[in-house]
Amino acid sequence: MLELAIGIILAGCAIGAGLALIAGIGPGIGEGNAVSKACEAIGRQPESKGAVTSTMIMGCAIAETTGLYGLVVGILLIFVAPNSFVQILMNNLPK
C-alpha cells in the first residue's frame, strides 16, 4: 500500500514536471515573433542593426521569464517535491 502511494506521488510529480514545461511553448513562439520582426526591421533599415539587435536580445531575455517559471517549477517537482511529499506522507501515516 505504501509503495503504491509513493509511486503515485512520484508519477504525479513527473507528470506535473512534464506539464510545467509546456510553458516553454509561449516564449518559443514569442521569441520567434520577436526575432522575425527584428530580421524584417534589419532588412528594411540595415544601418540600425546594432540598436535592433540589442533591443531584441533584451526583449527575448525578458520574454524568456515565463518559460523559466515553468522550468523552475519542473525542477522543483523533480528534485525537491518527491522528498518532501513522501516526508509528509510518512508523517501522516496512522500509527
Chain residues 41-70 in contact with other proteins, contact rule CB under 8 A: 57-58, 61-62, 64-65, 68-69
Which one of residues 75, 82, 86, 89 is an interface residue with other proteins (CB under 8 A)? Answer: 75
Which C-beta is closer to other proteins: that of 42 or that of 75? 75
SS (H, E, C) 38-82: HHHHHHHCHHHHHHHHHHHHHHHHHHHHHHHHHHHHHHHHHHHHH
CB of 15 to other proteins, least distance (A): 19
- Residues forming contacts to other proteins in the complex (CB under 8 A) are 57-58, 61-62, 64-65, 68-69, 71-72, 75-76, 79-80, 83
